[in-house]
């Protein structure tokens, strides 16, 4: 066997974040893949220790531009546990509405990117066009198109009135219609099936053994979803189905996302039609937390998002550790490439819905002078020999 190595990345024309796959090939067959990260370090976790609990709401939402609302949810609900704060039911419903709108646009964008990866440019442009309707709904409710920034300790910053509710319900009809159309395209189109079916097959036991999460896990038939397994916000009160498929290939993972997007449409509609009365916006916001330690998790569009928060008391956290779903799927899922062809590698990677900005965090320690000290990003950016 003669093995050669081909780099895929760190800059790829379709996947617009820097990551490198060192792909080892025997002819056209992939015999191994190594994941090389480190191109997108930002030091968010360390940065949070010097900022207040409130300021960190906005810092952690910027770990990811696409799933920023669920990052806020995981962080805020953890800090609320520390503070002994319980958001009112109406606020929990509004948080859930925003997270499900986020899930819809996240799943639509990765399906559009998959179309771009396989050269189906017209489908890419159509899906991105229709995704803008969802972005407009986010802006209508939260006041911001991308970063919703609607969470605050004890509730949300903006309420939903009858006019907004009726507008969202009306536009959801168009979103539902288009997602159903795109699902038929992904299910029936010859080009999509030819490229995605049997590419990167992950069996049921492998998905569990390698600790995969989210649609990547559910695409292999594993019925696991934090929203159902450990409900938070209003998920215990809103009916929904946990979507799974048994094929375990790239095609199944994309269909899971499209079916989940439809479920999210139904969930948003239900939440708006059953929106509880009472307040949603808190009058006073707690700014200090007692000593303690909490774990907080939520189901991000890509899977389980996990926050470990430690407080020593006061207005700043002592430590916040974030484990994102992309970390599990990108690093642990390399076995899925084995046996595939080189042309299938971008397809398989895209089927994981990789988010590199979520995954990359770094803490650099300088021990060169015998004294341990932390190095800030400003020092790294000055090119001082690092």
Q: Give 234-277 pLDDT, tens digit per residue.
A: 999 999 999 999 999 999 999 999 999 999 999 999 999 999 99
**pLDDT category, 14, cuts 50, 70, 90?**
low
Share of the chain above pLDDT 90, in %: 82
- State the Cα–Cα distance between residues 381 and 386, nearest whole angstrom: 9
Strand stretches in the chain, DSSP E: 3-8, 20-26, 29-36, 151-152, 155-156, 292-300, 303-311, 319-323, 365-366, 373-374
Whether residue 111 contacts residue 127, with contact meaning beta carbons closer than 8 Å, is answered with: yes
pLDDT above 60 (res 226): yes
pLDDT above 90 (res 202): yes
pLDDT above 50 (res 139): yes
Q: Determine how many CB atoms are found less than 10 A away from the CB of residue 71.
A: 25
- State the Cα–Cα distance between residues 292 and 92, nearest whole angstrom: 24
Q: Determine how many CB atoms are found less than 10 A away from the CB of residue 386.
A: 10
Q: Looking at the whole model, is its pTM more than 0.85?
A: yes
Domain made up of 42-324: CATH architecture: Orthogonal Bundle (1.10)
Looking at residue 386, what is its pLDDT? 39
Domain spans of the chain?
42-324
């Amino acid at each position: 066997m003669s093995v050669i190595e081909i780099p895929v990345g760190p800059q790829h024309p379709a996947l617009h974040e820097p990551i490198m796959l060192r792909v080892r090939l025997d002819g056209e067959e992939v015999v191994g893949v190594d994941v090389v990260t480190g191109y997108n370090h930002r030091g968010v976790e360390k940065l949070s220790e010097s900022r207040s609990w409130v300021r960190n709401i906005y810092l952690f939402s910027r770990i990811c531009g696409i799933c920023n609302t669920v990052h806020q949810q995981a962080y805020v609900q953890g800090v609320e546990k520390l503070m002994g704060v319980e958001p009112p039911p109406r606020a929990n419903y509004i948080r859930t509405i925003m997270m499900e709108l986020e899930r819809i646009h996240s799943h639509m964008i990765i399906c559009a990117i998959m179309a771009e990866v396989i050269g189906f440019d017209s489908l890419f442009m159509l899906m991105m066009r229709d995704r803008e309707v969802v972005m407009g709904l986010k802006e209508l409710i939260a006041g911001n198109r991308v970063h919703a920034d609607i969470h605050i300790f004890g509730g949300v910053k903006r309420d939903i009135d009858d006019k907004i509710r009726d507008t969202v319900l009306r536009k959801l009809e168009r979103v539902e219609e288009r997602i159903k159309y795109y699902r038929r395209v992904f299910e029936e189109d010859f080009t999509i099936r030819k490229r995605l079916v049997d590419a990167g097959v992950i069996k049921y036991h492998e998905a569990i053994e390698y600790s995969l999460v989210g649609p990547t896990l559910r695409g292999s038939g594993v019925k696991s979803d934090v929203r159902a397994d450990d409900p938070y916000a209003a998920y215990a009160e809103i009916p929904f189905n946990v979507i799974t498929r048994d094929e375990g290939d790239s095609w199944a993972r994309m269909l899971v996302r499209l079916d989940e997007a439809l479920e999210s449409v139904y969930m948003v509609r239900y939440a708006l039609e059953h929106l509880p009365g009472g307040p949603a916006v808190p009058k006073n916001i707690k700014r200090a937390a007692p000593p303690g330690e909490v774990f907080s998790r939520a189901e991000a569009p890509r899977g389980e998002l996990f926050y470990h928060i430690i407080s020593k008391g006061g207005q700043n956290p002592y430590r916040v550790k974030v484990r994102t779903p992309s970390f599990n799927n990108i690093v642990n899922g390399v076995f899925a490439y084995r046996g595939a062809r080189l042309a299938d590698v971008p397809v398989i990677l895209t089927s994981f819905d990789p988010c590199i900005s979520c995954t990359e965090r770094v803490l650099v320690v300088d021990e060169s002078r015998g004294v341990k000290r932390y190095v800030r990003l400003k020092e790294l950016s000055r090119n001082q020999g690092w």
